[in-house]
């Protein structure tokens, strides 16, 4: 299947207190105990009396996707009925899930569709995303799947987060305020308390890295879950991590394991798919990878819980036979919403005879935060606060990512590119727009705020390119399928998107006004991900000679410290 580029996510960031703990700390002082739904057995089946095997039963699925370690609220307040109300944060997400489950005790299954960790804020990433796994355990998920970001630091680290164990070696060390390296991994880290699925993720020998599916029983009804991950995952990963596994065709893999589930007598089948799409609000029509893949899936699939695109989906896709539809649902990102899906199942046949969904937002004023999750988050925020609260420069204006279609020209993108060029001592620098997240508000800048701009913190490399290769790289921004404007430092140019391929970039000038010389060699800075990725083949051809010079966050911190106070 054709790989798709990352979706561009544009989220404004409110300023948080050092360590981001303020809102959680306040919540702890006002949190009230909530009645808990029935406990689950070790096998994931609620302790309820088994009803007779006849008639219909309604089950509830509660789904989450793309939390990305956002344990604290990170989105700005949202308008609701003329008022500004906050959403997001693990403690409020947990409380909303608990409230929803109380409507169907013993008949609720909690699921997630991947990217629950990776590119995470400091409160989670500083402890290797172990805090987010612990929070998921407190939220009592029943099953989840891997997203591309679970592989950000390699397959072995992804499996450690699932299976448990302390992280060791050089990658386990994080600098403290004195610059000393300390191992921030919990020696007693137990991993996920629920199964992860990875049906289409295989190692170099073609062996599955995790189980492809699982069966969860509620109220005498069995539901099969198949977990899959976007085939474009390698586009998001460092080459050294991407080469360790393959991601096979999504729909073909689902069909294979749906047949196996049916042979085991399971007719209610749900796919947890870390692959996404977009839907025009109120239209009911959607497009994107998961819509295409769902059309190709067997009619045996009833529901697809999606992720990856950070969008809201609540749509139906017609079965490939032309008879009936599949429900496709996705719940934004960062814990700001969740899927609430109802399945009506015939007890005798096990078939889903009706299905419906909604995507509620996690409004703060409608629940009290989950006390256990809030306490966990507050503890990790305190642990990170000394590093998170360090101040590095002062901005004299807000720095945003820019609007859609202008991804290569935003103030924040130029700031990031300037920092990478300076740290590398290079003539030029290029930054992929999807590597720049969030925004910076005017005023003092903390390490936590700067970290959240480039939370993956990929290595920064310096390489050499001829002027003709730089021109070819700029032309590669405009493919037939899409346009990706790189943030650039050290040069300027004009574009004509209507011109023939290879002639869309003209008038390339260096920062001092001199023209780019085709045969002259220039030093170029970029992240390791951009330099070794598949989208820009010109970079990839130069990457073997690249020299590592630091990281994305180090470059941004150095840049804001280098600039005068109140820089614009």
Res 421: pLDDT: 98
Q: Whole-angstrom Cα distance, residue 44 to residue 218? A: 9
Q: Which of 151, 173, 127 is nearest to 529 (CA)?
A: 151
- Exposed/middle/buried for residue 339 (C-beta within 10 Å: 0-12, 13-18, 19+): buried
Kindly list the structural domains of the chain, giving each domain's residue range(s) and its CATH number in brackets, ordered by start.
24-35+56-380 (3.60.21.10), 391-562 (3.90.780.10)
Which residues, including other chains, have CB under 8 Å from residue 21's CB and lie 6 or more apart? 72, 377, 378, 381, 382, 385
Element (H, E) at 252: helix 250-263
Q: Whole-angstrom Cα distance, residue 292 to residue 286? A: 10
Q: Which of 116, 120, 115, 86 is nearest to 362 (CA)?
A: 86
Res 482: pLDDT: 80
Cα Rg of the chain, angstroms? 24
Give yes or no for a contact between 558 and 474, defined as CB atoms under 8 angstroms apart: no
Q: pLDDT of the chain along its 568 residues, tens only?
A: 444 444 433 333 333 333 344 443 333 333 333 333 333 333 333 333 445 456 999 999 999 999 999 999 988 899 999 999 999 999 999 999 999 999 999 999 999 999 999 999 999 999 999 999 999 999 999 999 999 999 999 999 999 999 999 999 999 999 898 889 999 999 999 999 999 999 999 999 999 999 999 999 999 999 999 999 999 999 999 999 999 999 999 999 999 999 999 999 999 999 999 999 999 876 768 999 999 999 999 999 999 999 999 999 999 999 999 999 999 999 999 999 999 999 999 999 999 999 999 999 999 999 999 999 999 999 999 999 999 999 999 999 999 876 444 445 789 999 999 999 999 999 999 999 989 988 999 999 999 999 999 999 999 999 999 999 999 999 999 987 788 899 999 999 999 989 999 999 999 999 999 999 999 999 999 999 999 887 888 988 776 678 999 999 999 999 999 999 999 9
Alpha carbon 559 to its chain's center: 27
Q: Whole-angstrom Cα distance, residue 5 to residue 149? A: 14
Give yes or no for a contact between 107 and 125, defined as CB atoms under 8 angstroms apart: no
Give the sheet arrangement for strand 325-331, strand by strand: 213-218, 221-229, 268-274, 303-306, 325-331, 312-318
Tokens of 556: 């941004």
Q: How is residue 505 annotated by DSSP? A: E
Res 544: pLDDT: 63
Q: How is residue 519 annotated by DSSP? A: T
Q: What share of the chain is helix, strand, coil (3-state, %, to 5)?
A: 30, 25, 45
């Amino acid at each position: 299947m054709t790989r798709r580029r990352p979706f561009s996510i544009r989220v404004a960031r409110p300023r948080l207190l050092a360590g981001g703990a303020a809102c959680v700390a306040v919540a702890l002082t006002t949190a009230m105990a909530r009645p808990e739904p029935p406990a689950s057995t070790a096998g994931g089946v609620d302790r309820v009396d088994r009803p007779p095997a006849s008639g219909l039963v309604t089950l509830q699925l509660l789904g989450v996707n793309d939390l990305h370690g956002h344990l604290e609220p990170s989105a700005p307040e949202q308008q609701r009925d003329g008022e500004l109300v906050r959403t997001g944060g693990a403690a409020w997400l947990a409380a909303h899930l608990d409230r929803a489950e109380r409507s169907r005790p013993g008949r609720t299954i909690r699921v997630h569709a991947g990217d629950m960790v990776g590119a995470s804020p400091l409160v989670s990433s500083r402890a290797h995303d172990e805090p987010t796994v612990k929070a998921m355990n407190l939220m009592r998920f029943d099953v989840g799947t891997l997203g591309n970001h679970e592989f950000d630091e390699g397959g072995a680290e992804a499996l450690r987060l699932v299976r448990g164990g302390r992280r060791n070696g050089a990658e386990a060390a994080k600098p403290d305020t004195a610059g000393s390296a300390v191992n921030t991994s919990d020696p007693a880290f137990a991993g996920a308390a629920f199964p992860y699925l990875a049906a289409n993720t295989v190692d170099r020998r073609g062996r599955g890295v995790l189980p492809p599916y699982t069966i969860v029983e509620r109220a005498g009804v069995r539901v099969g879950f198949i977990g899959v991950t976007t085939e474009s995952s390698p586009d998001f990963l460092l080459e050294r991590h991407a080469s360790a596994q393959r991601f096979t065709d999504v729909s073909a893999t689902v069909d294979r394991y749906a047949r196996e589930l049916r042979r085991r007598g399971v007719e209610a089948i749900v796919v947890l798919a870390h692959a996404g799409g977009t839907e025009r609000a109120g239209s009911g029509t959607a497009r994107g990878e998961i819509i295409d893949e769902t059309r190709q899936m067997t009619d045996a699939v009833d529901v697809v819980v999606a992720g990856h695109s950070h969008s809201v989906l609540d749509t139906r896709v017609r079965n490939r036979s032309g008879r009936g539809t599949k429900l496709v649902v996705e719940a934004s990102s960062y814990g700001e919403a969740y899927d609430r899906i109802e399945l009506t199942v015939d007890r005798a046949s096990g078939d889903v005879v009706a299905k419906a969904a909604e995507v509620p937002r996690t409004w703060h004023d409608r629940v009290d935060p989950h006390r256990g999750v809030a306490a966990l988050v507050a503890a990790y925020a305190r642990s990170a606060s000394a590093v998170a609260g360090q101040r590095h420069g002062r901005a004299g204006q807000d720095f945003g990512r820019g609007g859609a279609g202008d991804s290569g020209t935003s103030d924040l993108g130029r700031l990031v590119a300037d920092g990478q060029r300076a740290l590398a001592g290079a003539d030029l620098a290029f930054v992929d727009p999807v590597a720049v997240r969030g925004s910076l508000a005017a005023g003092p800048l903390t390490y936590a705020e700067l970290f959240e701009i480039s939370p993956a913190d990929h290595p920064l490399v310096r390489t050499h390119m001829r002027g003709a290769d730089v021109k070819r790289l700029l032309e590669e921004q405009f493919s037939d399928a899409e346009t990706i404007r790189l943030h650039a430092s050290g040069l300027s140019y004009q574009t004509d998107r209507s011109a023939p391929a290879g002639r869309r970039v003209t008038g390339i000038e260096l920062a001092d006004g001199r023209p780019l010389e085709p045969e002259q060699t220039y030093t170029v800075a970029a992240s390791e991900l951009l330099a070794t990725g598949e989208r820009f083949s010109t970079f990839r051809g130069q990457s073997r000679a690249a020299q590592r010079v630091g990281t994305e966050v180090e470059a941004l911190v150095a840049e804001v410290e280098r600039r005068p106070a109140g820089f614009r």
